Each structure stands twice: as structure tokens, then as C-alpha cells.
Amino acid sequence: MASGTALIYDEKMATHKLLWSDPICDIEVPERLSSSYEQLKSYHLVERCVPVPAREGSEEEILLVHSLEHLEVAKSTQTMNEEELKRVSENYDAFFFHPSTYHCARLAVGATLQLVDAVMSGEVRNGMALVRPPGHHSQRNAANGFCLFNNVAIAAEYAKLKYGLQRILIVDWDVHHGQGIQYIFEEDPSVLYFSWHRYEHQEFWPSLKESDYDAVGLGKGKGFNINLPWNKVGMGNSDYLAAFFHVLLPMAFEFDPELVIVSSGYDSGIGDPEGQMNATPEVFAHLTHFLMQLANGKLCVILEGGYHLKSLGESVCMTVKTLLGDPVPQITGEMAPCLSAVESIQNVRAAHKPYWKWLAYEDTSFLQNLSTKSHLLKKANSNTSTEHETKITNNNNTVKVERFLELHMKNILFPVPPIKTATIGSEGSEHFLSEHVQLVKEMDKTEIKSLVSGFYADLVEEDKILLSLGSMLAILDKILKKEVCNGIAASPTAALSAAVALRHSVRFGFQRVLCVFVGDMQITPNTEDGKMLIINICEKEQPGKTSCKHCISLNWKEDAEGNDFFSAVLGFILPVAYSYQPNLTVIAVGPNRSLGISGISLLVALLQGLAESRIVAVIEDTEISLLQSVAKALGGASTPPFGIYVPPTQEKVKKIKALRDQFQQEWKMLQCSVKDGI
Ligand SMILES: CC(O)(O)CCCCCNCCCN
Ligand SMILES: [Zn+2]
């Protein structure tokens, strides 16, 4: 399993710059690159990466995407004077040439391809290339929007050619639509292109009709182009996360890419003059963490836009920290997507229904009554401003945003616990130890008895159980004291251990503890005070037990063929978990688990985005292979294989929808459709 994170940077790419006054292009400054690199150094992140040199992309590589004419025009600018450079630049929408632009653009292409090679060869697991000029707007025969050569598009064509790849996912989280990439792969089913972008009903640049949610691809490429337009500014962390849970991630797991490339623009972050959005730097840690679970971790992140230097630098650091496998920082802000975001999410899901198995049973009845009223929807929306908008528009807010960035940034990167995973040397555990795992000494019986006597003494009759509780508590204590990030304990009675872990954590002072329990949960602690949220995944409804806000039972029997659990994890469990904002996660597997090892490993991998990745896993001690797989997922040594993708049956889709309808007012991240009608 490959490990390590590549960082590709060459200061020569800072030479390209604007020589005349142009209020549109003057934000694309060399300091974007140098200050990002300095920020990485200041957080000691450069030294933790594998340095990979940039190189010049060859003409042949550039011709994978661009016409010979485009290449020749670009090449000819190297010897031009300022007058000529200005004239050539005026042939394009929002582009400027400098005598060094051609060289810098070739370095940007080469740096990107170096990263693809480093990841595909297994030299590293993932990496980031800090490049400029950016690429995602440039087209076969034209420069556009600060972009000369389409770095990411060339990388995808290159990877197909050199490594015979047949499924590449491109995720474009830049705040502008990468229409260049869309045009290049519009008819190509081997490249799935996802872009969200500020759109405002086609008001925002590049103001294209084909940037809307109904541009789904052409011919054989239908279904492989996903546009998620943001029709208002001020979108925040919850809107971005909702887009991942309810649009991108279900597509991505069904597509099952062999490589993921990110057109990583940070102008979608707070403070950026172009985006005018509200999402804070740590959201990029979460987005990166999600994408790291795909393609066996093979992830190439390529810089596109980002024009607020402080916000850009922090977001770049959040991205690289996560690529390195550090714990994911707690997300901030109210976990509730705004109406406009939910409308866009609902629209793009409906547009893609014909092309995706996971959307086969999507309810698109809203389209009927909406189609008559859609002009009303747009008009209605144009003058009513949502809560986001009012926060952003008045200009004293920009002062506040600047202040926020100054304050917020300082201590955003918390110290990383040295050891990632703790376990106990109980019998049989030696086989699932990996180099990331630390043995924890057992507690002594008297100590355990005092801890446990409080609430479960009568339940604990045998020494064996007492000892296992002691082991689990020894591990849990290290997590609660933040000496380790996560831990795994084998137990003869997972339900009892989980209940004790929950009570112990609450008594330790953790105010919101999430428990995901797979299998029969014989003991259900009292969750009235909201300090615990239990999601019990079990085969059948427990008699006489109905779900409530803090104690939800999800009946799920995994399909024999493969892993059909994605829709439950992405469409229900993660949205609820993110809405709750736990500061610790307990994942427990008891008897009669109705999920396969791959479904549980997927759950563990994705739940690491919560509670600064603090997780304690309590697994029935008979489940040897499950222990190994979960320990691997926790150690971050590898992304566990998620088994064969099986789409959810109609019955299961209905079950998730019913639970969503029941809880989406309590747990607002579940929202992915507007109440019927407007
Ligand atoms: C890489 C990137 O997507 O960030 C480039 C953005 C270009 C913005 C051009 N704005 C033109 C406004 C014209 N009224
Ligand atoms: Zn942009």
C-alpha cells in the first residue's frame, strides 16, 4: 500500500504576471503561489511531504488536449513586447500574457503530470501541485479566465494513455465553472466531471447556459458531467457538505474511479473577492478526507483559483494536512444547508436520475408542478435574500470577514497526537497490530470496579467481562485525554462495553457522543439529555422500540452480493452525524451484525471526519477479520476495500427516504429536496 504525500512547487511559476492595468485580471498575482508555499512551511508541512520536482510539459503532452494553433500562438508570445502581448491577450476572455507565461504554463502542465506519475507509480499515495497559471477554463483552441493550458484535462488524458485508466473522477471545487474541462470531456464516459460554481441564474461569469444543472453530458458522455450551480452567494460549510453527501459522493462511489484529480480552487472559501462565499478553510480538510476514500487513496490535488492570500494559504494547508493523514479538524457553523442550495441539489439529482443506479428510485414528481412555476421560482428567488446573503452583502461584513480570518486562522491547526491508534494487548490482538498502533497497559480490577460499579455492576458477573471493560476504558481514557487519536478494543460483550464507554465519556465531560451500533444492541442507555446520539443498524425492528431524535434504529440487511450500504452511509448516517457535531464517536459491532466487513470499514473510514477523528471501536472479540479491517481503517495505513458496489433496492431507498422525512427537521443535513412545491 503506497504511503506519503507529494508536494510539487517551483518558484519559476511565480514569474508570470500582469504588465498593464486590467481590473479583471489583476487578482491573479504571483504571490498566490509564494505565500501558499510560505504558509505550508510555517506549519511545518513542507518537510513532511515528499518533494517531487516540476518539469516542463512537452508539446506532445499539451497537444493531448489543445490544437497546434493554440500551442503555436502561446509559444510565439515569448519574444513579444508589451504592446504585442497586450494585443494577443485581448483575443481572449480574461487572460493576460507575459513573456514568461508560455514557460510557466508548460511548468504547470509538467508539475501536474509529475504528480500523476508519482501517484500512479506508487511512489506516494497522494499529493498536491501548487501551479499557475491555472487551467480549468482553457479550451482546445483558446486561453480563458487566467488559464492557458488545461492542466487537469491534460492530466486525465495522460493518465488514460499512459496507465490505461478507464474511470477518472475530476472534482472541481473552484468557485468558477471549469467549462474548459466540461467541453473537453462532454462526450467521454471515462471521465466523470463534477463542478460546483457560483452561478446566480447565469448572472455570474462565465454566464453560460451550459453551466446549469441540466448540462449532463452528450452522447455516450451523458450522466458523466455534473454541474451544481450556486444561485446565491454566501454558501457555507453545510452547503458544501450537503453537496458531497447528496450529489457527489453517491455518484463517485457508484462510478468507482481508478484515480481522482481535484481542480482545487480556493476562491470558494471565505473572504475571496470572486466567490463571496462563507465556507471556512477546514471544510477543505473534510472534502479532501472524503475523496481520499476513493480509488484506493490515489488523489492528485491541482491548484486552480483562490485570490484572498490568507484564506488561500489556510485552505491549502488544510488540504495538505489531510492528505498527510492528520486528524480532520472540527467543522464550524450551523449544520443546515440553505434553501437555494437544497433546490440546486434537488435539481441536479433529478437531472441525473436517468443515468445513475443510485437515483433509479429518486422522486422527481416535484418537476411536474415546478416546471409550470419555475419562472416564478427564479423571479421569487432573485429579490428575496436568504440569511446567507444578508450576512455577506453589507460591506461592514467584509471587515468582519477580514477580522475573522485573522483571528480564526491562528490556532486552526491543532497539535497532532503522536500515536494514531491505541489497543490492548489482549489475547489474539497481536495479529491486527500495525506500526501505527500502541499497546496500552491494562487497568487493575479495583479501578475498573469503581468505574463500572456506578451503573452496570449487576451486569458484570464474570472477571473476563470486567477485564475487557478495563481494557476498553484504558484505551478510551487515552482518547478522552487526547493522547491518541483513536482506539480499538475487542470485547466479549460489545453492547455492554459500548454502554460503559458512552457513560464514561459523558461523565468525563464530553457533551455530545455519537454511537453507531451495528447488530443487536441489548442495552440502550438513556439518551434523553441529548449528550448521546445512538444510531443502531440492525436487521429487524426491535419490538416496541420506536426511533426518536437521539436514538434512531436503521433496519438494514446487507445484500449478499456486495456492499449496498453506501446510500445509507452517505444519505443518512453521515448527514445525521454531521448535524450532531459529536466530540467523540463510538462505533460498536455486536452479535448478529447485518452489515458486511466492507460496509463497516467504509463507515469507520468516513466517520473519521467527525470529532477531530476521535473514534473508539468496540468489536465482538470473535470477529477477527473485522478487527483487522477496522484497525487498518483507523490506522489510516490503507483505505479498506469497499467490496463490490451494489445499488440500493427500491425498498431500501424508501426506507432511507422515510427516515429522512422523519428527521430532516431535527438533523438538517438530511435535507436534499425542497418541501413539495416551493
Ligand atoms: C481559475 C479561476 O477559475 O479562479 C479563474 C477565474 C477567472 C475569473 C474571470 N472573471 C472575469 C469577470 C468578467 N466580468
Ligand atoms: Zn475560480
Q: What is the pLDDT of residue 25?
A: 98
Q: What is the pLDDT of residues 162-187, one digit of tens each?
A: 999 999 999 999 999 999 999 999 99
Residues of the chain with CATH 3.40.800.20: 12-412, 421-647
**Domain 12-412 maps to which CATH number in 3.40.50.720, 3.40.800.20, 3.40.190.10, 3.40.605.10?**
3.40.800.20
Average pLDDT over all residues of the chain: 89
272 lines ligand 1 (CB under 6 A): no
Distance 137 CA to ligand 1 centre (A): 9
Minimum-distance ligand to the CA of 303?
A: 1
Lowest-confidence region among 177-181, 205-209, 562-566:
562-566
Catalytic residues: 137
The secondary structure element, H or E, covering residue 538 is strand 532-538
Lowest-confidence region among 27-31, 312-316, 342-346, 460-464:
460-464
DSSP 562-582: SB--HHHIIIIIHHHHHHH--
24 lines ligand 1 (CB under 6 A): yes
205 lines ligand 1 (CB under 6 A): yes
Q: What is the pLDDT of residues 249-278, one digit of tens each?
A: 999 999 999 999 999 999 999 999 999 999
Q: What is the pLDDT of residue 432?
A: 54
CB count in 10 Å sphere of residue 415? 7
Question: Is pLDDT at 545 greater than 80 in this prediction?
Answer: no
Percent of the chain's residues with pLDDT above 90: 72
Distance 275 CA to ligand 1 centre (A): 10
Q: What is the pLDDT of residues 595-644, one digit of tens each?
A: 989 889 999 999 999 999 999 999 998 999 899 889 888 987 677 777 88
Residue 157: CA atoms inside 13 Å, Cβ hemisphere, count? 17
Question: Is pLDDT at 676 greater than 60 in this prediction?
Answer: no
Question: Is pLDDT at 418 greater than 80 in this prediction?
Answer: no
Question: Residue 267 CA: which ligand 1 atom is closest?
Answer: 4
Distance 197 CA to ligand 2 centre (A): 8
Question: Residue 135 CA: which ligand 1 atom is closest?
Answer: 1
Distance 425 CA to ligand 2 centre (A): 51
25 lines ligand 1 (CB under 6 A): no
Question: Is pLDDT at 376 greater than 60 in this prediction?
Answer: no
Peptide bond into 206 cis (omega under 30): yes
564 lines ligand 1 (CB under 6 A): no
Q: What is the pLDDT of residue 394?
A: 44
> Which of 16, 146, 149, 179 has most ligand 1 atoms within 8 Å of CB, for mutation?
146
C-alpha cell at position 668 = 438538517
> Which of 131, 152, 304, 311 has most ligand 1 atoms within 8 Å of CB, for mutation?
304
275 lines ligand 1 (CB under 6 A): no
Q: Give me the amino acid identity at 191.
A: V
173 lines ligand 1 (CB under 6 A): no
Distance 175 CA to ligand 2 centre (A): 5
Q: Give ipTM to 2 decimals.
A: 0.99
pTM for this model (two decimals): 0.93
Query: Alpha-carbon distance 149 to 162, whole Å?
Result: 19
Q: What is the pLDDT of residues 8-18, one digit of tens each?
A: 999 999 999 99
- Alpha-carbon Rg of the chain, whole angstroms? 25
Q: What is the pLDDT of residue 677?
A: 45
145 lines ligand 1 (CB under 6 A): yes
Q: What is the pLDDT of residue 405?
A: 72
Q: What is the pLDDT of residue 641?
A: 77
Separation in Å, CA 352 to CA 196, 316, 570, 656, 658? 15, 31, 17, 19, 22
Minimum-distance ligand to the CA of 304?
A: 1
Q: What is the pLDDT of residues 280-328, one digit of tens each?
A: 999 999 999 999 999 999 999 999 999 999 999 999 999 999 999 999 9
Q: What is the pLDDT of residues 53-87, one digit of tens each?
A: 999 999 999 999 999 999 999 999 999 999 999 99
Q: What is the pLDDT of residue 31?
A: 98
Q: What is the pLDDT of residue 442?
A: 67
Q: What is the pLDDT of residues 379-415, one digit of tens each?
A: 445 444 444 544 444 445 566 777 767 666 554 555 5
When pLDDT is averaged across residues 495-505 and rounded to a whole number, the result is 92
Higher pLDDT, 483 or 166: 166
Res. 368 pLDDT band, cuts 50 70 90:
confident
Question: Residue 136 CA: which ligand 1 atom is closest?
Answer: 1
Distance 177 CA to ligand 2 centre (A): 7
Query: Alpha-carbon distance 587 to 497, whole Å?
Result: 11
Query: In sequence order, what are the residues at sequence separation of 6 or more whose Cβ sits closer than 8 angstroms to the Cβ of residue 400?
Result: none
Query: In sequence order, what are the residues at sequence separation of 6 or more whose Cβ sits closer than 8 angstroms to the Cβ of residue 575?
Result: 242, 245, 246, 667, 669, 670
Query: Alpha-carbon distance 534 to 536, whole Å?
Result: 6
- CA-nearest residue, atom 1 of ligand 1: 305
When pLDDT is averaged across residues 213-235 and rounded to a whole number, the result is 98
Neighbours of ion ligand 2 (CB under 5 A): 174, 176, 265, 267, 305
Q: What angle do CA 500, 532, 415 make, to 5 degrees?
A: 85
Q: What is the pLDDT of residue 433?
A: 57
Question: Is pLDDT at 121 greater than 90 in this prediction?
Answer: yes
Query: Alpha-carbon distance 252 to 167, whole Å?
Result: 10
Question: Is pLDDT at 370 greater than 90 in this prediction?
Answer: no
Question: Strands (DSSP E) along 213-280, which ranges?
Answer: 225-230, 259-264
Question: Residue 306 CA: which ligand 1 atom is closest?
Answer: 4
> Which of 28, 149, 263 has most ligand 1 atoms within 8 Å of CB, for mutation?
28
Res. 521 pLDDT band, cuts 50 70 90:
confident
CATH of domain 421-647: 3.40.800.20
Question: Residue 25 CA: which ligand 1 atom is closest?
Answer: 9
Minimum-distance ligand to the CA of 108?
A: 1
